[in-house]
Amino acid sequence: MSALLRWILYPLALLAGLAAIGVAVVAIVLVLTYPNLPSLEALTDYRPKIPLRVYTADGHLIGEFGEERRNIVRIQDVPPVMKQAILAAEDERFYQHGGIDTLGVLRAAIMNLTSGGRKQGASTITQQVARNFFLSSEKTYTRKLYEALLSFKIEHHLSKDQILELYINQIYLGQRAYGFSAAAQIYFGKQLRDITAAEAAMLAGLPKAPSAFNPVVNPKRAKIRQQYVLRRMHEMGALDDKQYDAALKQALVVKRETNEYPVHAEYVAEMARQIAADRYPEDVYARGLRVYTTITKADQEAAYASLRRGVFDYDRRHGYRGAEAFVDMKEVSSDQDETLDELLADIGGTEDLSPAIVLEAQPKLVKAYRKGGDLVTLSGDGLKFATRMLDDKAPPAKRIRRGAVIRVQKDDKGNWQIVQMPEVEAAFVAIDPQTGSIRALVGGFDFNRNKFNHVTQAWRQPGSSFKPFIYSASLEKGYTPASIIPDEPIVYPASVTGSQAWEPKNYDGKYEGAMTLRTALAKSKNMVSIRILEAIGTHYAQDYTTRFGFDPDKHPAYLTMALGAGSVTPWQMVSAYAVFANGGYRIQPYAVREIRDERNEVLAQAQPTPAGNEELRAIDPRNAWLMDSLLRDVTLYGTATRATKTLKRRDLAGKTGTTNEHVDAWFCGYQRTLTGCAWIGFDQPKNLGNNETGGAAALPIWIGYMQKALHDVPESIPEPPDGLVAMEVLRPTAGAAVEYFYKENVPVAPPAPQPGDAATNAVD
C-alpha cells in the first residue's frame, strides 16, 4: 500500500471509528435515558389550573380569580390568522420537522457565527411544550438533551394539532395570562375568534419575552416585535400585500384601564368570590368553578354610570382642589420621553379618570402627557373647572404648572377637560322586591381605589329615610294618613333626657302648625315624626322595625330614632323598602344564582322564597298599601318630586334622607318591580355641604339608574287590599280628596281640615 493511500485511508478509518463510537454513545444514552423520560400523561390528560370565574346572569364575565388566568380553547376554534402568526413568530417549519428543526438549528448557528450580535435560538414549538410541562429553563447540556428527547417522544405520541393546541393554551404571555385566548381578552378585550392580523401578530410576539414585548408596559418595543411578526407572515404567504399593509396601519387599542371586563361589577365579583371560597375552600382558584350572579349587564352598567355621574357632579359643585402631585422633570428630554410613563407608573387611573403630567401650563392652554403615550391639549371649556389653579396667585403646592399631575377626561363632545379624583364615596344597590335577587350593586366610586363595599359594610345613619318605618308602626297603633299632628317646636329638658336638654328642629327651621300624617311625611317634618314616636312608644317602634330586618341594638329606643339616628347599611335599607314595594313581605337579598363546576354541572343553586308566601309576611297588606300611597306622595309633592318630573311616571315611591350636619345623604325608593337605594358621604364622616341633601346628592343617582332600568316597564299602581275603607276628606288647598282607613279605624266624622295642611315641595 502506497504511502499516499495510507495517508488517505487512515484518517478516514479514524473518522469512521469516531463516528461509530459517537453513534454507539448516542444509542447507549437513548437506551438508558429514553425509558426514564417522564410520562406524557400531563399532556394526554391535560388539566391546567383554571381560575374561578364570575359572570352576570346574562353570561358576561365580571371577574377572574386565580394565579393563572387561562381560558381553554380547542385547536379547531383557533382562527387561522392566530395559528399563522404563531408559526411565523416561533416555528415556521412546525408541520414539517419531527420535533427538532435541524435546518433551523443550522441557520441559527450560521447567524450566530457570522452576525457577532445577539444570539439566535432555534427552539421549536414542540421543544417549548416539553420545557413548559416538564423541564426548567436552566441552560445546561443535560436539560437540552432531555428537551430534545422529550420533543421526539411528544411528536411520536401526539399529532401536530394536539401539540399546537397544548402550546396555545399553556404558554405564558404576561399580565398573568396563560394561553392566547386569555391574552386576547386581557390585552384587547376580545374573544380569540375576533382578533385581527395586527392583534394576532402582537400576541404571537409575546412568548419570546412576555415582559419586554408587553404592549401595556413597553408599547414601543411591542410594536417593533409586532412589525417583525407581520413581516414574517407576509414572507410566508399568510398575508398578501394588501393585508400586510392594512395590518401595519391598524391602530391597536390595547386595554390599559384597571377594569379588564366588559361590565363594571368588581364589588359583585368579590362578593361572589367570597361565597365560592367559603363553600369550596379546596382548589377554589384552580378547578374551573363558574359563579353566575343575579345582576344583568344592562342594569349594572346603568347603576355604575349613574353613580359615577352623581359623584362627579357633586365633586364639581365643590370646586377644584388643585394638582394631585408633582414629579421631577429634570430627566425628561422631550414630550414623548419614556421617562414620563415611568413617572406615571404608580399612579392609578380608570378609563374616565386618566392621570397626566403637565408639560406646559398657561392661563388659557395646558398641554399634558397622558398615561400610555397620548399628548393632550386642553383649552376653553376644558379648563373651566381648574381656572383658579392656573393663576399665578394660586397656592404653589396646588398650582397647575410643568410637572403637575392632573386628571383628564373626555366630555360629551369628545374634548378633553381637567377633572379630579373625587374624595367623596357613594353606593347604590337595586333588587327585585318579589324575589330578592340583586339587579345591580356598586359598592363605591372605584373598587381599585377602595375595596370597602359600602353597600354591605358601611354602617351609616339613615336620617329621614328611616321615617317610613316609624310611620308604618304608627298605622298599627291606630294612626291614619289623615291623623292630625302638630308641627311645632319641642324642647326636652335634661330631667327628661337624663343627660342634657334636647331641642330638635325641622330641616329648614320652619314650622307649619297642625298637619296630616300624609303631609308630614311628604314634607319630612321632624317634629311630627318625633311626636308620633313618642306617642306609640320607642320600645314598640324598636321592636316593630325588626320586621323589616333592622337590628334593634343598632337603633336604641330613644326619640332620636324618629330622625334616623341609628345605624343601617344600604343592603338593609333596600330590603326594608322592598317590603313596601311587594305588599308587605320580607325577602332576603341574594347576589349569587348558582355555582357550576368545570363540567358545567350545577353544584349549588339559590332557592329564594318569593314574595306572596305568607310565611314571609312582615306587615299587614293594608299597612304596606297605605305606606306605598304615602311614599308615592313624597315623589309627587314632597322632597323627591324630581323623580316624578324626570321619569314622567306616577308609580314611583320613596324617601329622601339627610343626617345631622349633612354627613350622609340618602334616597331609597321603588317601583313595584324594582327597589333601589342610593347613599353618598365621606368614609371619614364630615359635612357634605349645607345644600347637599338626599334630594340633591343621592336622588340623582337613583333617577339615573331608574331611567334605564324602567325604560320599557309599564306604569303600575296597586289596587287597595281588602280591609281598607275609602272616605272623602276635605283639604283646604286641594278640595275634597279620598283617604283610606283600616276598617276598624274609620273615623266617626271626616277629619277637619287644618291650616297648613297642604303638601308642598321640601328639601330633605
576-586: average pLDDT? 98
307-331: average pLDDT? 93
Res 352: pLDDT: 80
Mean pLDDT computed over every residue of the chain: 88
**Range 435-470 burial, b when 16+ CB lie within 10 A, else e:** bbbbbbbbbbbbbebeeebbbbebebbbbbbbbbbb
Contacts of 200 (CB under 8 A, 6+ apart): 79, 81, 82, 84, 85
Residue 408: phi and psi, rounded to 5, are: -125, 155
> How far is Cα 703 from Cα 641, in angstroms, rounded to an integer?
11
86-109: average pLDDT? 78
Quote the number of domains for the chain.
Answer: 4
Helical ranges in 34-140 per DSSP H: 41-44, 80-90, 102-115, 125-134
Residue 53 counted as domain residue: no
Q: Do 230 and 285 sit in the same domain of this protein? A: no
**68 vs 420, higher pLDDT:** 420
pLDDT at 132 over 90: no
pLDDT at 342 over 70: yes
pLDDT at 117 over 50: no
Q: Do 24 and 147 sit in the same domain of this protein? A: no
pLDDT tens figures, 499-536: 788 899 998 889 999 999 999 999 999 999 999 999 99
Q: Do 574 and 723 sit in the same domain of this protein? A: yes
Contact between residue 135 and residue 144 where contact means Cβ atoms under 8 Å apart: no
List beta partners, residue 416. Answer: 410
Least confident of 251-260, 443-452, 601-610: 251-260
> How far is Cα 503 from Cα 492, in angstroms, rounded to an integer?
6
> How far is Cα 688 from Cα 682, in angstroms, rounded to an integer?
8
Q: What angle do CA 743, 481, 496 make, to 5 degrees?
A: 115
Res 17: pLDDT: 64
Q: Do 528 and 646 sit in the same domain of this protein? A: yes
- The active-site residue, picked from 68, 90, 512, 739, is 90
Q: Do 401 and 283 sit in the same domain of this protein? A: yes
pLDDT at 541 over 60: yes
661 catalytic residue (yes or no): no
> How far is Cα 296 from Cα 307, in angstroms, rounded to an integer?
16
List beta partners, residue 612. Answer: none
Residue 490 counted as domain residue: yes
Q: Do 250 and 287 sit in the same domain of this protein? A: no
- Cα 433 to chain centroid distance, Å, stands at 23
Least confident of 236-240, 296-300, 668-672: 236-240
Res 68: pLDDT: 84
State whether the Cα torsion 275-279-285-288 is positive or negative. negative
Residue 599 counted as domain residue: no
For 345, half-sphere exposure in the C-beta direction (CA atoms, 13 angstrom radius) is: 9
> How far is Cα 168 from Cα 162, in angstroms, rounded to an integer?
10
5-25: average pLDDT? 62
Residue 753 counted as domain residue: no
| Closest C-alpha among 42, 50, 47, 43 to residue 67 | 50
Type of residue found at 67: E
Q: Cell 311645632 maps to which residue?
A: 488
User: Of 424, 459, 474, which residue constitutes the final position of a domain?
Assistant: 424
CATH assignment of the domain containing 407 = 2.40.50.140
Least confident of 92-96, 449-453, 457-461, 703-707: 92-96
Q: Do 387 and 501 sit in the same domain of this protein? A: no
Residue 751 counted as domain residue: no
Residue 602 counted as domain residue: no
> How far is Cα 397 from Cα 673, in angstroms, rounded to an integer?
51
**379 vs 131, higher pLDDT:** 379
Residue 46 counted as domain residue: no
Residue 553: phi and psi, rounded to 5, are: -70, -15
Q: Do 301 and 401 sit in the same domain of this protein? A: yes
**9 vs 148, higher pLDDT:** 148
The conformation of residue 589, written as its DSSP 8-state character, comes to: -
| Closest C-alpha among 580, 545, 573 to residue 461 | 573
247-267: average pLDDT? 83
User: Of 207, 236, 262, which residue constitutes the final position of a domain?
Assistant: 262
Q: Do 442 and 400 sit in the same domain of this protein? A: no
**385 vs 339, higher pLDDT:** 385
pLDDT tens figures, 214-235: 888 888 899 999 999 999 999 9
> How far is Cα 654 from Cα 643, in angstroms, rounded to an integer?
9
367-372: average pLDDT? 84
Q: Do 567 and 635 sit in the same domain of this protein? A: yes
90 catalytic residue (yes or no): yes
122-143: average pLDDT? 71
CATH assignment of the domain containing 709 = 3.40.710.10
Q: Do 82 and 216 sit in the same domain of this protein? A: yes
Contact between residue 495 and residue 764 where contact means Cβ atoms under 8 Å apart: no
> How far is Cα 464 from Cα 332, in angstroms, rounded to an integer?
55
pLDDT at 72 over 80: yes
- The active-site residue, picked from 464, 465, 472, 575, is 464
CATH assignment of the domain containing 140 = 1.10.3810.10
Contact between residue 401 and residue 361 where contact means Cβ atoms under 8 Å apart: yes
Contact between residue 485 and residue 508 where contact means Cβ atoms under 8 Å apart: no
pLDDT at 756 over 50: no
Residue 60 counted as domain residue: no
Residue 498, Cβ neighbours under 10 Å: how many? 8
User: Of 393, 424, 455, which residue constitutes the final position of a domain?
Assistant: 424
**429 vs 337, higher pLDDT:** 429
Q: What domain range includes position 234?
A: 68-262
pLDDT at 211 over 90: no
Contact between residue 621 and residue 687 where contact means Cβ atoms under 8 Å apart: no
- State the DSSP H helix or E strand holding residue 520, giving kind and residue range, or none if neither: helix 517-523
> How far is Cα 200 from Cα 280, in angstroms, rounded to an integer?
37
Contact between residue 259 and residue 350 where contact means Cβ atoms under 8 Å apart: yes
Q: Do 237 and 93 sit in the same domain of this protein? A: yes
